[in-house]
């Protein structure tokens, strides 16, 4: 007898269908898993650590801020007036009162290795009234600029960053937390709004404008390479004469000797310490950009050789009275000499580097038929240090 084909009620048909679906899926999974299985093997657990240098190798250039002129045979201090608290001041071009928004502005050097953190950054500003009848005090506030943007403001006309009393030069050191990296410190621009409080407004003397701070590896002082005096309302730019190739130059005070150089007559460049302890110095060179103060006639030339020192200890000479580093007879065209200084090969020598440039007129000067004795004009005296720090 044929079984009856019965139609099941819905509540029972659904489990049957789900049972079929799940069973089919399970079967398919088992089959496919079996088909895709394969052997694999791995070798693992090999690792290594890679550490980069603390400071990558690179050239860092520094102008001599300390310049001594011994062309007369006796040294005179011709250093940058803003770089040292030495009483050698720069006076604002114009008497300036509070609230003018006129300023003096300083662009700092870019000698520090990039990419480092900076702590304890300070602006060190030393100023005083230039004095005179009814003079008062000198005050200032300032803003800080990096990459063309104001990154910090310190004080105001109502709340100055500092005021010196009378003509007594006073140093004010103001913390600048915003200068948190060497990338900001390099080329930092500080605009100081100075004023004089006298009933008859006076000019202001500025003796010092520096940036100090520390990287993880060394403390540093950054000096200005360009100052702008806007106290009149019209900015006047005054680069440090030895920092860059521009219209700002240094002419020594006395004509150089005839025929042979004299070890007592020189220009002396003292470089600031800035290479971190432990660094490896791979190359040091001097770039001297110069010409004669007037054309040297009658077959004569102005020549020089140089000597390097570790502080007061001679390291080496480059050239001599018989074999100059370079000569020129031009009173207008700058010669650019780059002299390698391989003897400056470690941190100590780098941080105590002194260079004397001995000039003379060859074959001789003065007197009938001979070239006229001349001075030298220096446009750039910059030392470049290549170093890294492991």
Binding mask 111-130 for another protein (x = CB under 8 A): --xxxx--------------
Contacts with another protein in 15-34 (CB under 8 A)? Answer: 15-16, 19-20, 23-24, 26-27, 30-31, 34
Task: Provide φ and ψ at 252, rounded to 5°.
Answer: -65, 170
Closer of 35 and 133 to another protein (Cβ): 35
> Do 64 and 267 meet the contact criterion of CB atoms below 8 Å apart?
no
Binding mask 175-194 for another protein (x = CB under 8 A): --------x-----------
Closer of 20 and 219 to another protein (Cβ): 20
**Which segment (13-21, 146-154, 291-299, 360-368) binds another protein by CB under 8 A?**
13-21
Binds another protein by CB under 8 A, chosen from 1, 10, 36, 47:
47
Closer of 10 and 312 to another protein (Cβ): 10
Smallest distance, another protein to C-beta of residue 177, A: 21
Is position 110 an interface residue for another protein (rule: CB under 8 A)?
no
Q: Where are the beta strands (DSSP E) in 263-346?
A: 267-270, 280-292, 301-310, 313-318, 326-328, 335-340
How far is it, in rounded angstroms, from Cα 209 to Cα 229?
Answer: 13
The structure tokens listed for 30 are 């088992």
Closer of 41 and 332 to another protein (Cβ): 41
The structure tokens listed for 221 are 């002082």
Closer of 51 and 312 to another protein (Cβ): 51
**Which segment (41-49, 120-128, 255-263, 357-365) binds another protein by CB under 8 A?**
41-49
Rounded CA Rg of the chain: 35
Is position 36 an interface residue for another protein (rule: CB under 8 A)?
no
Is position 4 an interface residue for another protein (rule: CB under 8 A)?
yes
- Which residues sit opposite 267 in a β-bridge? 69, 357
Return the number of other C-beta atoms located less than 10 Å from residue 321's C-beta: 15
> Do 230 and 237 meet the contact criterion of CB atoms below 8 Å apart?
no
Smallest distance, another protein to C-beta of residue 364, A: 52
**Which segment (53-61, 125-133, 310-318, 335-343) binds another protein by CB under 8 A?**
53-61
Closer of 9 and 369 to another protein (Cβ): 9
**Which segment (43-51, 230-238, 263-271, 356-364) binds another protein by CB under 8 A?**
43-51
In what helix (H) or strand (E) does residue 60 lie, and over which residues does it extend? strand 55-63
Task: Name the 3-class secondary structure at 72.
Answer: coil
> Do 160 and 170 meet the contact criterion of CB atoms below 8 Å apart?
no
Is position 55 an interface residue for another protein (rule: CB under 8 A)?
yes
How far is it, in rounded angstroms, from Cα 271 to Cα 63?
Answer: 7
Smallest distance, another protein to C-beta of residue 38, A: 5
Which position has the token pair 């007559």? 265
- Which residues sit opposite 62 in a β-bridge? 383
Count of chain residues binding another protein (CB under 8 A): 46
- Cβ-Cβ contacts under 8 Å for 381 (sequence gap 6 or more): 63, 64, 67, 242, 267, 269, 286, 287, 288, 289, 355
Binds another protein by CB under 8 A, chosen from 1, 10, 36, 52:
52
How far is it, in rounded angstroms, from Cα 342 to Cα 332?
Answer: 31
**Which residues contact another protein by CB under 8 A?**
4-9, 12, 15-16, 19-20, 23-24, 26-27, 30-31, 34-35, 38-57, 113-116, 183, 388, 390
């Amino acid at each position: 007898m044929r079984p009856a084909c019965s139609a099941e009620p819905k509540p029972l048909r659904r489990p049957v269908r789900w049972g079929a679906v799940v069973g089919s899926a399970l079967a398919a999974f088992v089959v496919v898993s079996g088909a895709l299985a394969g052997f694999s093997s791995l070798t693992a657990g090999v690792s290594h650590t890679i550490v980069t240098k603390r400071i990558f190798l690179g050239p860092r250039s520094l102008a001599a801020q300390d310049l001594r002129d011994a062309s007369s045979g006796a040294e005179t201090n011709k250093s940058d007036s803003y770089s040292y608290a030495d009483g050698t001041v720069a006076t604002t071009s114009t008497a300036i009162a509070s609230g003018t928004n006129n300023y003096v502005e300083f662009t700092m050097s870019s000698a520090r290795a990039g990419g480092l953190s900076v702590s304890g950054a300070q602006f060190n500003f030393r100023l005083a009234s230039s004095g005179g009848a009814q003079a008062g005090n000198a005050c200032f506030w300032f803003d800080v600029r990096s990459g063309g943007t104001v990154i910090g403001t310190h004080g105001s006309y109502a709340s100055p960053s500092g005021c010196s009393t009378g003509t007594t030069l006073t140093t004010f050191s103001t913390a600048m937390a915003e200068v948190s990296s060497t990338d900001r410190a390099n080329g930092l621009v500080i605009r100081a709004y100075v004023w004089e409080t006298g009933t008859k407004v006076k000019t202001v003397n500025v003796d010092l404008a520096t940036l100090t701070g520390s990287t993880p590896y060394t403390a540093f002082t950054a000096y200005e390479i360009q100052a702008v005096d806007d106290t009149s309302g019209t900015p006047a730019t005054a680069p440090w004469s030895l920092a860059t190739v521009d219209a700002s130059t240094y002419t020594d005070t006395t004509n150089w000797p005839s025929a042979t150089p004299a070890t007592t007559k020189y220009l002396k460049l003292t470089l600031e310490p800035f290479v971190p302890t432990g660094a490896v110095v791979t190359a040091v060179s001097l770039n001297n950009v110069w010409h004669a103060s007037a054309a040297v006639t009658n077959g004569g030339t102005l020549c020089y050789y140089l000597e390097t020192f570790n502080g007061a200890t001679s390291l080496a000479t480059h050239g001599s009275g018989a074999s100059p580093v370079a000569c020129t007879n031009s009173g207008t065209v700058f010669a650019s000499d780059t002299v390698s200084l391989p003897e400056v090969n470690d941190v100590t020598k780098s941080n105590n580097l002194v260079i004397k440039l001995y000039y003379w007129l060859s074959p001789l000067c003065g007197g009938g038929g001979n070239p006229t004795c001349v001075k030298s004009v220096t446009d750039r005296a910059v030392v470049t240090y290549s170093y890294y720090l492991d």
